[in-house]
């Protein structure tokens, strides 16, 4: 391999390590605009009867990879890398927008215990986003992008919504789907 090829490999490897470290730090301490206890077991456990928005998810739900074909409403990850070398959990990065009262795409799919790092841009107005099962909330001013990073530790389909827009019945709705590992 030429020295240019080795240099490029070192640069790519370094970027992957830095992204993984940033995602882990955001997960541990909360990212910009995050609050609550995202990344921790929900109060009472997500599978407990007290789950607020959690729905069951089929174990055969496909977790998309970098090159996966996905429906328009499912976010394809921009980064998938092991949390640490040899781990079976990954850091998965995604991009979403909220515009005209809707998430686009509206669904992020990860495996249980993967770290989800989701950048959300508020295009046309400010939005408040909550995920009550994990105690997550953030406000995204118009034209800005905020990140939430967390680890969904129990399988399920978890609702994200905007309470200031009228709640899940009237405002934008999105989902984080945590698929059980097979």
Radius of gyration of the chain (CA): 17
Q: What is the pTM of this model?
A: 0.74
In the chain, domain spans: 3-179
> What's the pLDDT score for residue 122?
97
Whole-number Å distance between alpha carbons of 107 and 89: 20
Average pLDDT of adjacent 10-residue blocks, the chain of 182 residues: 59 50 43 39 42 87 94 96 91 96 96 94 96 91 93 92 92 94 80
Name the strands in the sheet holding 127-131, side by side, starting at the edge strand that comes first in the sequence: 107-111, 173-179, 156-161, 127-131, 136-140
What residues form DSSP beta bridges with 179?
111
* Residues present in the chain in total: 182
Instruction: State the CB neighbour count (10 A cutoff) for residue 155.
Output: 20
Report residue 115: phi and psi, to 5°.
Answer: -95, 120
Q: Any idea which fold 3-179 has?
A: Immunoglobulin-like (2.60.40)
Helix (H), strand (E) counts: the chain: 1, 10
Under DSSP, the state recorded for 168 is T
> What's the pLDDT score for residue 50?
59
State which H helix or E strand residue 92 sits in: strand 90-99
Task: Decide: 120 and 148 in contact? Cβ < 8 Å.
Answer: yes
What residues form DSSP beta bridges with 110?
178
Q: How far is CA 36 from CA 27, 46, 116, 138, 151, in A?
A: 12, 15, 16, 9, 13
Whole-number Å distance between alpha carbons of 132 and 117: 18
């Amino acid at each position: 391999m030429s020295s240019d090829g080795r240099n490029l490999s070192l640069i790519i490897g370094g970027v992957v390590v830095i992204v993984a470290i940033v995602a882990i730090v955001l997960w541990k301490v909360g990212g910009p605009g995050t609050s609550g206890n995202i990344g921790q077991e929900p109060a009472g456990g997500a599978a407990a009867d007290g789950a607020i928005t959690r729905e069951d998810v089929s174990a055969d739900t496909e977790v998309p990879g970098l090159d996966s074909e996905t429906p328009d409403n499912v976010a394809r990850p921009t980064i998938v890398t092991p949390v640490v070398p040899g781990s079976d959990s990954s850091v998965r990065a995604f991009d979403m927008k909220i515009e005209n009262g809707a998430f686009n795409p509206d669904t992020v799919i990860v495996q249980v215990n993967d770290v989800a790092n989701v950048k959300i841009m508020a295009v046309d107005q400010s939005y408040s986003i909550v995920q009550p099962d994990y105690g997550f909330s953030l406000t995204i001013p118009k034209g800005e992008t905020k990140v939430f990073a967390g680890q969904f530790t129990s399988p399920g389909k978890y609702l994200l919504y905007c309470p200031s827009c009228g709640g899940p019945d009237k405002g934008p709705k999105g989902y984080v789907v945590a698929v059980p590992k097979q």
